[in-house]
């Protein structure tokens, strides 16, 4: 290998991130837990990844649209209901839902067992949203639709009531 290749190789190996099953930043938001696995710092902010656990009988956020990032959900366990506009998709374990910018969406776990999803953000813009919600709750503000929508607005995300 030439000198340039060694430098590139060393740079890449120094950037590796390995997050074990008990690692990552855990954020509790009422009946929802987000474990941040990649906040974008390893990927040059091209990708963020979280693990979401939804308690049984848990509604997700108000239906909304992202303007600046794609969002992916892979259902690891349980069953999640994704509402895309007016259509509900029942998603058992093994289901992948990819949400492009502009698509109205939300999710819920109406079942009796917890549901776990891997959640991706491309780019990583939305990871900070969960940290902001945590900080809002720690500051004494209630986690409700109004406060959630206000935090969403910081990340090019708006509530969605028009599904055309």
What's the pLDDT score for residue 10?
37
**DSSP β-ladder status, 32-38 and 87-92:** unpaired
Contacts 24+ apart (CB under 8 A), 81-89: 81/107, 81/108, 81/109, 81/110, 82/106, 82/107, 83/107, 83/108, 85/160, 85/163, 86/163
What pLDDT, in 10s, does the model give residues 143-152? 999 999 999 9
Per-residue pLDDT reduced to its tens digit, 75-121: 999 999 999 999 999 999 999 999 999 999 999 999 999 999 999 99
What pLDDT score was predicted for residue 82?
A: 98
- Residues 15-52 have pLDDT tens digits of 799 999 999 999 999 999 999 999 999 999 999 999 99
**Strands of the sheet with 48-54, listed across from one edge:** 25-29, 32-38, 48-54, 115-122, 70-77, 96-99
């Amino acid at each position: 290998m030439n000198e340039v290749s060694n430098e590139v190789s060393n740079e890449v190996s120094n950037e590796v991130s390995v997050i074990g099953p008990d690692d990552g930043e855990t954020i509790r938001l009422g009946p929802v837990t987000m474990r941040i696995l990649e906040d974008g710092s390893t990927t040059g902010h091209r990708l963020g990844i979280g693990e979401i656990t939804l308690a049984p009988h848990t509604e997700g956020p108000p239906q909304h649209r992202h303007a600046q990032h794609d969002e992916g959900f892979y259902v690891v366990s349980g069953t999640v209901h994704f509402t895309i506009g007016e259509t509900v998709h029942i998603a058992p374990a093994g289901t992948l839902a990819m949400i492009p910018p502009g698509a109205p969406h939300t999710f819920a776990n109406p079942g009796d067992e917890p549901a776990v999803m891997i959640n991706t953000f491309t780019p990583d813009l939305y990871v900070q949203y969960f940290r902001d919600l945590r900080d809002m709750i720690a500051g004494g503000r209630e986690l409700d639709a109004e406060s959630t929508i206000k935090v969403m607005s910081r990340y090019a995300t708006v509530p969605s009531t028009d599904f055309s």
